[in-house]
Chain A
């Protein structure tokens, strides 16, 4: 009797703990909608907020469009992914197909180290190494630009893409490779024709994870992209991605003002994009599971 009662109590306690934790997170989502819904209202034309108006809070009348931030985000994270996806998938292939055991044991912790370095240290590293040198190489007044931010961001997303894609390649059953090699084809054929096709859902997850990381990265981008509200036109222009906009402006915004709501709307946009990416990863994973069981 005593046993059963103790069990019920522990069940209830752990249930309550879960509910409290999760409801706090739900509260976060709801609060975001509350703070930003007004933002969407005061900008009744959503299209204007997202694509047409510039960000000039000091002009009269002030305008709070985040066009420049969206374009900057696309520029910076696009560039970083362009660099990180081929190399990341290459590292994944190297780890699962070519690397001897000893090399694997070396690279795995090295990638973990790369993933464990805080974003602000990356920002500092980029500032010390690239920004200073860019000023000399390209004869720029200040070295912060899309290119620097993109390069450093690619280093930050690289370990996530590499380890997820290595996982995807390792999950392809060994029999496929044996069958292929026994027919006399070489390694590049196996990789191009078999591994890529079989590991496609996993690779999709790796890329999507990389995109989500790149979009949400704040500190490195804030320190390296240059924080200018102009729309970047080339790789050497200064830019201000959404996360940098939020981090720059929130501190000096009066609560409840139009600008405040505009910032929370921008945050909501960012959150929704990341959530959509995550949900699509989840759907692909689910499909993958069904395929392997079938």
Chain B
């Protein structure tokens, strides 16, 4: 670039040709670079996903999903049923704990407290918290729930920790979903003389439903996949698969972490990874279906 500028300044007539050639070269190489970037953006996800599916599919069987871990050391044979159960219940309880607060909180921010100083402060604070790394939530869960409240390493401590991770993500997406509905709908409903709860219940929530579900999927999917918050609050190396609130559970991500870091079994690692990924994929598909069902209602 720099050379070309000096060329122009010194001898415009003679070197226009060189300058143009340089410009064309720059343009072509930049477009080439961008196409390569685009190819990376497309091929990298597909190859990672394809690699794990390709390697993992051999280790996937009915018994792998329905049996307990067996063998010495544990995890070399058998299945991962307790981990599937543990991950499922952690996410479910965490969701049940945080969704009502996120829903009503989002409604307050968008419908009652819109454009107030309070709403801005809360929104800023919550946005900051979505950026806080998951391990920080894990540390808090350990210090506050496990140690201070004496819950011990247990399902309930892990679920509360996960609910704290889900809450800000869901709150923001619900608020945005409600804010994106045009005011005409509210005005038309008000003009008919109905109350605000009626509008929220029958007009706003059905309209915002697809975006609300998208936010839930984002939050819950994130929570299912993250190991760092449950590492110290809920997870255990091996459990018999009985789920109770005051007992620790196995989870899919931590199970994968344990068997890789202890170098127990690569085969089981592939199997667990593919179960985790396919589980998330199925969850996403269900949510897409739910979005359709919800939006048909309008």
Per-residue interface assignment for chain A, residues 191 to 219, with 1 indicating a CB less than 8 Å from any chain B CB and 0 otherwise: 11000000000000000010010011111
Q: Size class of B's contact patch? A: 35 or more
Contact assessment for B27 and A188 in the assembled complex, using a CB-CB cutoff below 8 Å:
yes
Interface residues of A in 1-19 (CB under 8 A from B): 3-4, 6-7, 10-11, 13-18
B139 CB-CB contact with A under 8 Å: yes
Judge whether A155 is part of the interface by a CB distance below 8 angstroms. Answer: yes
CB pair A106–B257 under 8 Å, yes or no, is no
Question: Dominant SS at the A interface?
Answer: helix
Q: Report which residue of A10, A18, A129, A191 has the largest number of chain B beta carbons within 10 angstroms of its beta carbon.
A: A18
CB distance from B131 to the nearest CB of A (A): 4
Cβ contacts under 8 Å, A267 to chain B: 135-136, 139
Task: List A contacts of B37 (CB < 8 A).
Answer: 87, 90-91, 93-94
Within 8 A of A (CB), among B105-132: 105, 107-109, 111-113, 122, 124-129, 131-132
Segment of B10-18, B45-53, B60-68, B73-81 engaged in the interface with chain A: B45-53
Return chain A residues, CB-CB under 8 Å to B132.
216, 271, 274-275
CA separation between A107 and B41, bound complex, in Å? 6
Tell whether, in the assembled complex, residue B266 and residue A128 are in contact, meaning their CB atoms are under 8 Å apart: yes
**Is the C-beta of B261 less than 8 angstroms from some C-beta in chain A?**
yes
> Which listed residue, B26, B134, B224, B232, touches A216 by the CB 8 Å rule?
B134
Q: Which residue, of B48, B137, B232, has the highest number of chain A Cβ atoms within 10 A?
A: B48
B226 adjacent to chain A (CB < 8 Å): yes
The smallest beta-carbon distance between A281 and chain B, in angstroms, is: 8
Partner of A87, one of B40, B122, B129, B276: B40
Query: What are 28 contact pairs spanning A and B, CB under 8 A?
Result: A7-B196, A15-B112, A15-B113, A21-B98, A21-B101, A28-B164, A31-B144, A90-B33, A94-B38, A94-B41, A95-B38, A118-B224, A118-B227, A119-B228, A120-B225, A127-B269, A155-B44, A158-B41, A186-B24, A186-B27, A187-B31, A188-B23, A192-B1, A216-B131, A216-B133, A247-B228, A250-B232, A251-B232
B binding-site residues for A, Cβ under 8 Å: 1, 23-24, 26-27, 30-31, 33-38, 40-42, 44-46, 48-49, 51-52, 55, 98, 100-105, 107-109, 111-113, 122, 124-129, 131-140, 142-144, 147-148, 164, 167-168, 171, 195-197, 200, 221, 224-228, 231-232, 253-254, 256-257, 260-261, 266, 269-270, 273, 276-277, 280, 284
Closest 9 CB pairs of A and B: A216-B133, A118-B225, A90-B37, A17-B104, A18-B105, A14-B108, A94-B38, A21-B101, A14-B104
